[in-house]
Amino acid sequence: MKELIDRIRKQGKVLDHGILKVDGFINHQVDPALMDLCGRELARRFAKVGATKVLTAEISGIAPALTTALHMGLPVVYARKTKPITMPDTVLLTVAPSHTKGMMVELIVSPEFLGKGERILIIDDFLATGSTIWGLVRLAQTAGASIVGIGTLIEKAFEGGRMSLAPLDVQVEALAVIQSMENGKLVFNE
């Protein structure tokens, strides 16, 4: 999506260790108009998959998942990384390595809000190695739900996430696909 790619070109910064800094408009300061546009586009691309719920992971996934769900008329559930006291004693929990934290994080969903027969559209900010998204897939499948699509704002194509998701055989979409960040230079797949 041109608007997102243009913004990454303008404001994104390539840091060491393959980290793309987009915290001026996606994950610390957020541009709501851009998020709304991205949500509208993801909703358009997934209009025909028959999703009944959007699933994401806190924290950075919340903004794009909320706007996508808004434009699809669906509820959105965000997996928590710590269990709040409002959650029941027994929960769905998986662990996934965090790229930006360099450690394993927990992803926790209450069984009240993820159940058998649900058709889940997963939305997140990044598709990199796919490890967080696989965590969400495991939660949904354990609950007896099925995955009907996976959408992200940005894909770092060189980290192999899309290939890792191939066994799911579902539509995978990213609004800005980065082919390379070598030597700090962003190359998009347009």
Q: Which residues bind a second copy (CB under 8 A)?
A: 15, 19, 21, 23-25, 27-33, 35-36, 58-59, 62-63, 66-67, 69-70, 73-78, 80, 82, 84-87, 100-102, 109-110, 112-113
Angular region, 184: left φ>0, alpha ψ -120 to 50, beta rest: left
Of 184, 185, 123, 120, residue with least CA distance to 154: 123
Closer residue to a second copy, CB minimum distance, 49 or 70: 70
Q: How far is the CB of 123 from a second copy (least distance, A)?
A: 12
Instruction: Specify whether the CB–CB gap between 127 and 161 falls below 8 A.
Output: yes
Q: How far is the CB of 150 from a second copy (least distance, A)?
A: 19
Burial class (CB within 10 angstroms; exposed 0-12, middle 13-18, buried 19+) of 83: middle
Q: How far is the CB of 166 from a second copy (least distance, A)?
A: 29
Closer residue to a second copy, CB minimum distance, 49 or 87: 87
Instruction: Specify whether the CB–CB gap between 148 and 53 falls below 8 A.
Output: no
Closer residue to a second copy, CB minimum distance, 114 or 168: 114
Closer residue to a second copy, CB minimum distance, 5 or 69: 69
Q: How far is the CB of 21 from a second copy (least distance, A)?
A: 4
- Count of C-beta atoms within a 10 Å radius of residue 67: 25
Which helix (H) or strand (E) segment is 161 a member of?
Answer: helix 161-165
